[in-house]
């Protein structure tokens, strides 16, 4: 299925936030967002609706007239069933009388963004940190991702050291 949706400034803002946490394309992260949305509790949708209501409505970012979402068959089925569910939930909670695709997309994306934020905070929370000689490539990558995603002030010197090592390595590859 290919959906064309009139773009709101909120879409651009939220898409940029999502892209900070994942390299997926718009259609890909929408599909993942739909699968995650299936597991979101009914009472959480009202909170997610309130979060998208707080997104900026205008600003300096360029906004295209419309955007395309290409979804596979499973995501299309999820899209349709979730649409009906959210329309019912938001109507029951006096948030919306009509659910438009623009708002539905924002709800799915906000649910996915909340999931990504939660997961990024859980990166590296394993209790057993391996010794230097035991650290595997995936563990190295996970630790590096944790440092970069958390972007904490106390990690500034570590980030600087990593940058220096990466530049040195790149220079040695020439």
Same domain for 67 and 87?
yes
Judge if 102 and 145 occupy the same domain: no
Residue 127 scores a pLDDT above 60: no
111, part of any domain: yes
Q: Which domain holds residue 81?
A: 2-122
Q: What confidence tens digit (pLDDT) does each residue in 34-76 have?
A: 999 999 999 899 999 999 999 999 989 999 999 998 988 988 8
Cα torsion 60, 98, 25, 140: sign: positive
pLDDT tens, residue by residue, 65-124: 999 989 889 888 999 999 999 999 988 888 778 889 999 999 999 999 998 888 877 655
In angstroms, the CA 63 to CA 67 distance is: 10
Q: Do 43 and 79 fall into the same domain?
A: yes
pLDDT at 123: 57
Q: How many domains does the structure of the chain reveal?
A: 2
Q: Quick one: average pLDDT of 12-20?
A: 92
For residue 2, the surrounding DSSP H or E stretch is strand 2-6
Residue 157 covered by a domain = yes
Q: Are residues 108 and 167 in the same domain?
A: no
Q: Give the mean pLDDT of 141-154.
A: 78
In this structure, are 107 and 36 located in the same domain? yes
- Tell me 68's DSSP state: E
Whether residue 127 lies inside any domain: the answer is: no
Q: Within a domain: residue 98?
A: yes
DSSP 93: T
pTM of the model: 0.69
Do 28 and 8 fall into the same domain?
yes
Q: Within this chain, do residues 40 and 105 fall inside the same structural domain, yes or no? A: yes
Q: Residue 95 has what pLDDT?
A: 76
Counting Cβ atoms within 10 Å, is residue 108 exposed (0-12), middle (13-18) or buried (19+)?
A: buried
State residue 133's pLDDT score: 63
At 145 the pLDDT is 80
pLDDT band at 141 (very low <50, low <70, confident <90, very high): confident
- Considering the domain architecture, whether residues 22 and 102 belong to the same structural domain is answered as yes
| Tokens 């919306």, located at residue | 96
Residue 147 lies in a domain: yes
């Amino acid at each position: 299925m290919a959906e064309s949706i009139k773009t709101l400034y909120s879409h651009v803002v939220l898409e940029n936030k999502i892209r900070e946490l994942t390299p997926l394309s718009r259609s890909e992260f929408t599909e993942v967002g739909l699968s995650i949305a299936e597991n979101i509790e009914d009472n959480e949708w009202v909170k997610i609706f309130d979060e998208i209501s707080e997104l900026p409505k205008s600003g300096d970012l360029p906004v295209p007239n419309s955007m395309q979402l290409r979804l596979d068959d499973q995501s299309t089925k999820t899209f349709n069933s979730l649409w009906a569910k959210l329309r019912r939930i938001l109507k029951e909670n006096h948030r919306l009388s009509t659910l438009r695709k623009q708002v539905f997309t924002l709800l799915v994306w906000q649910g996915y963004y909340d999931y990504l934020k939660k997961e990024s905070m859980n990166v590296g929370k394993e209790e057993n940190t391996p010794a230097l000689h035991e650290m595997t490539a995936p563990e190295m990558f996970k630790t590096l991702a944790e440092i970069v995603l958390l972007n904490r002030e106390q990690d500034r010197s570590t980030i600087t050291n990593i940058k220096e090592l990466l530049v040195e390595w790149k220079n040695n590859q020439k």
